[in-house]
Amino acid sequence: MTAATAPRSARPSRPPRSIVGPLGFLVFLAITWWASSEEFGLGVDIPRLVANLTRGADILAEFWPPDFSVVPRTIGPMLETIQIAVIASLIGCALALPIAFLASRVTSPNVATYLVDRGVLSVVRALPDVLYALIFVAALSIGPLPGILALILFNIAVVAKLLSETVDGVDPGPLEAARASGANRLLTVRWAVLPQVLPNYVAYSLYAFELNIRASAVLGIVGAGGIGNLINEYRRFFQYDNLLMVVIEILLLVIIVEWISIWLRRKLV
Amino acid sequence: MIRFENASVTYPGGVHALKNITLEIPDGQMMVIVGLSGAGKSTLIRAINGLVPLSAGDVTIDSVSVRHAKPKQLREIRSRIGMIFQTFNLVNRTTVLNNVLMGRLHDAGTLRSLLAWYKPEDVEIAMQALERVGIVEKAYVRASNLSGGQQQRVGIARALAQQPTIILADEPVASLDPPTSHVVMRDLQRINRDLNMTTIINLHFLDLAKVYGERIIGMRAGELVYDGTGSEADENVFRDIYGRSLTADDMLGEAAAAG
């Protein structure tokens, strides 16, 4: 036993427990109560919810069985949804690349550029994509273009944010080497930083494309093109069996795109 | 010729890393800087290519001020100074050749370099640099797949690809094992002799400094405390520089074989 030979030194006393954790949990409970209470909030009544659970069954029953005969009619809008996602991903992710470099302290030419870029990104990220689609539909017209524009903004916000944070964490060694060699800022970014973050950039872009497929299904509901237009139509005319068919198609598309994306991302690592 | 004229560096935290250094380094000299960590060796080296800005005094290279150089001038000065780092500072995810071509960026044209559309001359310069350090066959291998010694030689090739007149090496062998350390030091010595490049190297192993340093300067707490030849620098001199008696940790060990 080697431990016996070493003299026992005094153990440090345990620091007092932090109350931040339990306190935070209490605050969380209080807010939940506030949000769901009858007087101040939404008045969530769980017993009534359970009692009425069966009422929706009649409506849900109208969804079944899905009507396969509408499939030919959905092909066009489905394709449009995919096209919207592809175009918006390509343009949005391409624009996000330089914006991300300007939004990182490591690669931004000066503090002013960095702060302005960060600020603009925060504002763009603050609004949901459906709201952008509504604005563009109002400003332009009904159709795929407002959908594409809304998703481009969304992609810039998401990819530039994620990528700029990755750039913040790159190994500064190659940057110092490039600077020491007399390379200008642009080439330093191109050859010392970009190779380090390229796999992340591709992964984020694929992720953005996945989100775009999902989002462009919804954007059509506000008139921004794609399969959402059809969803809206079936919903308004209570053609729930058609609606279920469309939901199944979207589900399949999203799953397939996700599989491909996951497979590609795994190849990158 | 590199000249330090009363050069001082004070870091934002208030640390005086260089105190009033005056020093001349003639062309073609192989000079080794020794001293404990924190003595200001890295700062001294980085003051030469302006990676660390001076707070007083000046450094001039062939009578051109580094401190007062405009950004474009500074890039021009840096392009003539190759730098080698303790941790190699390679981009691991890309090829050896792309790493070495980084040494050509200052001269290869921004648009061409952005698109990796290098002129055959630039690629040839990079290949020759790799040839000089004996690993040209690794040109298309990913940098991360090389051993430490090979990675440092890529670092040297990157510096050579600049076709510089000065080589700065900041602890170039501190991450390497003893035999590899000698290989890399001999590469640097050969380059110094064959290409007549002024070579300034930080080392903390005293035996290496004695073997390879044509001239040795000693630093302690930001000040120059020794300046002499390698053969003059005996144990007493080093004890003086380190401010304590020497231990086995101050030696690389393993009989040094200078080429």
**Each residue of A171-180: pLDDT tens digit?**
999 999 999 9
Decide if pLDDT at A5 tops 70: no
Residue B2, strand partner residues: B25, B61
pLDDT for the residue B103: 96
Examine the domain organization and report whether B123 and B195 are in the same domain: no
Decide if pLDDT at A64 tops 90: no
Q: Would you say B48 and B81 are in contact if contact means Cβ atoms under 8 Å apart?
A: yes
Would you call B93 and A176 a contact, using CB atoms and an 8 Å cutoff? no
Distance from CA of A207 to the nearest CA of B (A): 22
Closest CA to A189 of B91, B78, B237: B91
Decide if pLDDT at A236 tops 70: yes
Q: Which of B163, B194, B224 is the last residue of a domain?
A: B163
Is residue B118 classed as helix, strand or coil in its secondary structure? coil
pLDDT for the residue B258: 45
Examine the domain organization and report whether B101 and B122 are in the same domain: yes
Question: Does A110 fall in a domain?
Answer: yes
Residue A13: count of CB within 10 angstroms of its CB: 6
Chain B CA closest to residue A183:
B106
The reply to whether A195 touches chain B by the CB within 8 Å rule is yes
Q: Would you say B82 and B160 are in contact if contact means Cβ atoms under 8 Å apart?
A: yes
Distance from CA of B208 to the nearest CA of A (A): 25
Question: Does B252 fall in a domain?
Answer: no
| Contacts with B82 from chain A: Cβ below 8 Å | 181
For B215-222, what is the mean pLDDT? 93
| Contacts with B51 from chain A: Cβ below 8 Å | 176, 179-180
Query: Could you tell me the residue range of the domain that residue B124 belongs to?
Result: 88-163
Please provide the average confidence, as pLDDT, over all residues in chain B.
92
Please provide the average confidence, as pLDDT, over all residues in chain A.
88
**Each residue of A140-170: pLDDT tens digit?**
888 889 989 999 999 999 999 999 999 999 9
CATH number assigned to the domain comprising residue A130: 1.10.3720.10
Question: Does B60 fall in a domain?
Answer: yes
Would you call B79 and A182 a contact, using CB atoms and an 8 Å cutoff? yes
pLDDT band at B1 (very low <50, low <70, confident <90, very high): very high
Examine the domain organization and report whether B69 and B180 are in the same domain: yes
Examine the domain organization and report whether B171 and B143 are in the same domain: no
Question: Does B259 fall in a domain?
Answer: no
**Each residue of A38-48: pLDDT tens digit?**
888 788 778 88
In our burial notation (b when 16+ CB lie closer than 10 A, e otherwise), range A229-260 reads: bbbebbeeeebbbbbbbbbebbeebeeebeee
Chain B CA closest to residue A178:
B102
Examine the domain organization and report whether B222 and B202 are in the same domain: yes
Would you call A180 and B83 a contact, using CB atoms and an 8 Å cutoff? yes
Largest CA distance in chain B: 56
Write the residue in B77, B102, B155 that is nearest to A183 by C-beta: B102
| Contacts with A188 from chain B: Cβ below 8 Å | 105
For A230-253, what is the mean pLDDT? 87
Q: Would you say B181 and B189 are in contact if contact means Cβ atoms under 8 Å apart?
A: no
Examine the domain organization and report whether B71 and B93 are in the same domain: no
Instruction: Give the C-alpha separation, A104 to B11, whole Å.
Output: 24
pLDDT for the residue A269: 64
Q: Would you say B214 and B200 are in contact if contact means Cβ atoms under 8 Å apart?
A: no
Question: ∠ CA B80-B86-B87 to the nearest 5 degrees?
Answer: 105
- Residue B225, burial from CB neighbour count under 10 angstroms (0-12, 13-18, 19+): middle
Would you call B76 and A182 a contact, using CB atoms and an 8 Å cutoff? yes
Question: Does A44 fall in a domain?
Answer: no
Residue B18, strand partner residues: B9
Question: Does A53 fall in a domain?
Answer: no
Per the omega criterion (within 30 degrees of 0), is the bond before A65 cis?
yes
Question: Does A113 fall in a domain?
Answer: yes
Question: Does A55 fall in a domain?
Answer: no
Decide if pLDDT at B231 tops 90: no
pLDDT for the residue A227: 86
Q: Could you tell me where the DSSP H helices lie in A127-193?
A: 129-139, 144-168, 172-180, 185-188
Decide if pLDDT at B134 tops 50: yes
| Contacts with B114 from chain A: Cβ below 8 Å | 186-187, 190
Question: Does B177 fall in a domain?
Answer: yes
Instruction: Give the C-alpha separation, B25 to B213, whole Å.
Output: 13
pTM comes to 0.83
CATH number assigned to the domain comprising residue B53: 3.40.50.300
Would you call A196 and B85 a contact, using CB atoms and an 8 Å cutoff? no
Instruction: Give the C-alpha separation, B123 to A84, whole Å.
Output: 42
Question: Does B171 fall in a domain?
Answer: yes
For B165-194, what is the mean pLDDT? 94
Distance from CA of B141 to the nearest CA of A (A): 15
Could you tell me which residues of chain B have a Cβ less than 8 Å from any Cβ in chain A?
49, 51, 75-83, 85, 87-91, 93-94, 98, 101-103, 105-106, 110, 113-114, 155, 158-159, 162, 168
Instruction: Provide the domain count of chain A.
Output: 1
Question: ∠ CA B219-B224-B226 to the nearest 5 degrees?
Answer: 80
Instruction: Give the C-alpha separation, A182 to A5, whole Å.
Output: 59
pLDDT for the residue A148: 92
For A53-66, what is the mean pLDDT? 77
For A175-190, what is the mean pLDDT? 95
pLDDT band at B218 (very low <50, low <70, confident <90, very high): very high
Q: Which of B128, B144, B163 is the last residue of a domain?
A: B163
| Contacts with B81 from chain A: Cβ below 8 Å | 180, 182
- ipTM score of complex: 0.92
When mean pLDDT is compared across A192-206, A214-228, B90-104, the lowest value belongs to: A214-228
Hunting for tokens 């563009």 — which residue is that? A136
Higher-confidence position of A64 and B52: B52
Q: Would you say B226 and B217 are in contact if contact means Cβ atoms under 8 Å apart?
A: yes
Examine the domain organization and report whether B178 and B228 are in the same domain: yes
Instruction: Provide the domain count of chain B.
Output: 2
For B221-228, what is the mean pLDDT? 92
Examine the domain organization and report whether B40 and B8 are in the same domain: yes
Distance from CA of B184 to the nearest CA of A (A): 18
Chain B CA closest to residue A176:
B89
Question: Does A183 fall in a domain?
Answer: yes
The tokens describing B168, both together, are 């700065």
Question: Does B48 fall in a domain?
Answer: yes
Instruction: Give the C-alpha separation, B137 to A233, whole Å.
Output: 65
For B224-242, what is the mean pLDDT? 86
User: What is chain A's Cα-based Rg?
Assistant: 26
Q: How far is CA B29 from CA B32, B127, B195, B249, B259, in A?
A: 10, 26, 11, 28, 17
Query: Among A166, A167, A181, A194, which would you mutate to test the B interface (most chain B Cβ atoms within 10 Å of its Cβ)?
Result: A181
Query: Could you tell me the residue range of the domain that residue A108 belongs to?
Result: 65-268
Examine the domain organization and report whether B73 and B179 are in the same domain: yes
For A114-140, what is the mean pLDDT? 90
For A223-238, what is the mean pLDDT? 84
Would you call B98 and A178 a contact, using CB atoms and an 8 Å cutoff? no
Size of interface A-B (CB pairs under 8 A): 83
Chain A CA closest to residue B77:
A182
Question: Does B258 fall in a domain?
Answer: no
Q: Which of B163, B198, B219 is the last residue of a domain?
A: B163
**Each residue of B138-157: pLDDT tens digit?**
999 999 999 999 999 999 99
Examine the domain organization and report whether B150 and B182 are in the same domain: no
pLDDT for the residue B254: 60
Decide if pLDDT at B107 tops 60: yes
Closest CA to B256 of B182, B203, B191: B182
Q: Would you say B54 and B7 are in contact if contact means Cβ atoms under 8 Å apart?
A: yes
pLDDT-above-90 percentage for chain A: 42
pLDDT for the residue B256: 45
